[in-house]
Structure 1
Amino acid sequence: MTSDADTVVRPRTVRLRADATRNRERIVSAAREAIVEFGPDVALDEVARRARLGNATIYRHFADRTELIRQVTLSVMARAAQCAEDALVEEADAFSALCRFVFEAAEERIGALCPMLSEAFDRRDPEVAAAVGRLDRSVTAVMERARNAGQLRGDVAVGDLMVALTQLTRPLPGTGCLGFDRFAQRHLQLFLDGLRAPARSELVGTSATLEELQSCHK
């Protein structure tokens, strides 16, 4: 039998949990943008300012900077994987799905974040390993669909795509160029045109996998 106390407490408990979830999401989002601008050593005061929360709220959710960066890393990989999965389902044309993933992943700032965060998380962490695996599978599925449709050249793999995406969307050091996104979009389109089949050149070496890219940082 439900008591009067239960009736009073439960709605407030639900609200508190919802507020806590929103605050956590605001912190991760603010940290993501701050890391893009200042690097992984950004002051937590700056993260708190961007999230419009007190420092104490950050420490209630994250024990230290390492845990916050870990969560940002997981969030970036999850969002990128979701971009690939949505594109695969929603785009009728296989190469359009690949293009959509590339541009949406660029909007997630994956190029600026991944190089900085790659040194900061433990690849033996089961949650990190699962996130990497999901990203690999999702992007591979998008690329395989385009390849099977005869639209993607056969000598590239997920690692090749992620290297290019990272390099072409990483802000140039010391430029402070507010319009850099415009240039990144142009360069990504040039890169995507180069992925189309039939290939007009033969690439040197072998295609790179995501696993090989990870091993470069070990």
Structure 2
Amino acid sequence: MHTATPAPRKAPRPRADALRNRERIVTAARDMLVEDGVEVPLDDIARRAGVGNATLYRNFPDRQSLVREVVCSVLGRIAEAAELALTETGGTGDTFEALSRFVHASAEERIGALCPMISSAFDQDHPDLEAARGRVEQLVEALMERARAAGQLRADVGVGDLMIAVAQLSRPPAGASCLNADRFVHRHLQLFLDGLRAPARSVLPGASTTMEELRQA
């Protein structure tokens, strides 16, 4: 007699409080990694998140997994800002103004602190990280292409040029003591954005930079 194979059991969905704890850990880690650098003690992150050490290690068994989650969460929020900007340019909106809003929103995510995080002991080829980076690159390229097509963005800049400038101008490196420089961020970003407008007033040395070239560097 044939016996039916039982259907595989679905993995239980995480409880709401477990998801909240995970989100609190990632938020606390993001802030402390920016403020104190990538070597900040994990116990300090747990304390700031208001959870026990066991809860942190249950979600993130090692520093690498937590740093990767922080980087992916920041890239995810940047991607959402790019998607919003693309939506704004879908009608009759000003494409360059939408690009400018995206740049300022990206600065608020403190993307300048991602470089020391990624350059530490880190699995840069992890599929989650690759997917997050690829999504950002595609969205920002689409946003820049719309501004170029409208004749508002100079033609000799690439996604890498834009993102590395935002990273350099947005925040001091993780652990830096000059956080009072924050008050100049949006002022200096606007000066940079004015230099991106078409028609260009100068010829840039070298060639435009891609995200792939930045990764290889």
- Bin of the TM-score, shorter chain as denominator length: 0.7 to 0.9
In the alignment, does 2:17 pair up with 1:19? yes
Does residue 162 in structure 1 map to residue 163 in structure 2? Answer: yes
Q: Matched residues in 2 for 1:177 and 1:132: separation? A: 28
State the alpha-carbon separation in 2 of the partners of residues 160 and 126 from structure 1. Answer: 24
Q: 1:175 to 1:135 in 2, by over 3 A?
A: closer
* Residue 184 of structure 1, CA deviation: 1.0
Match of 2:76?
Answer: 78
**Contact persistence 2:37–2:175 (CA under 8 A):** no
Counterpart AA for 1:81: A
AA aligned opposite 1:87: A
TM-score (norm 1): 0.87
Q: CA RMSD in A?
A: 1.8
- Aligned to 1:63, what secondary structure does the other structure show? coil
Report the equivalent of 1:98. 99
- Match of 1:39? 37
Structure 2 unmatched ranges of 5 or more = 1-11
Aligned-partner Cα distance in 1 for 2:27–2:175: 24
Q: Is the 8 A contact 2:171 2:182 kept in 1?
A: no
Q: TM-score, normalised by structure 2?
A: 0.88
- Percent sequence identity over aligned pairs: 59
Which residue of 1 is the match for residue 209 of structure 2?
A: 208
Q: How far apart are 1:87 and its partner, in Å?
A: 1.2
The number of residues matched between the two structures is 202
Tell whether 2:119 aligns with 1:115: no
| C-alpha deviation, 1:176, in angstroms | 3.2
Q: What whole-Å deviation, never above 9, does each CA across 1:166-200 have from its counterpart, x for those lacking one?
A: 11123278873453222111110000000000000
Instruction: Extract unaligned runs of 5+ from structure 1.
Output: 1-12
1:133 aligns with 2:134: yes
Greater helix content: 1
Task: Give SS of 2:123's match.
Answer: coil
Comparing both chains, which one has the higher relative contact order based on Cα–Cα distances under 8 Å and sequence gaps of 6 or more?
2
Q: Distance in 1 between matches of 2:167 and 2:96?
A: 20
Question: Which stretches of structure 1, 4 residues or longer, exceed 6 Å deviation after superposition?
Answer: 172-175
Q: Which residue of the partner structure matches residue 6 of structure 1?
A: none
CA distance in 2, matches of 1:189, 1:78: 23
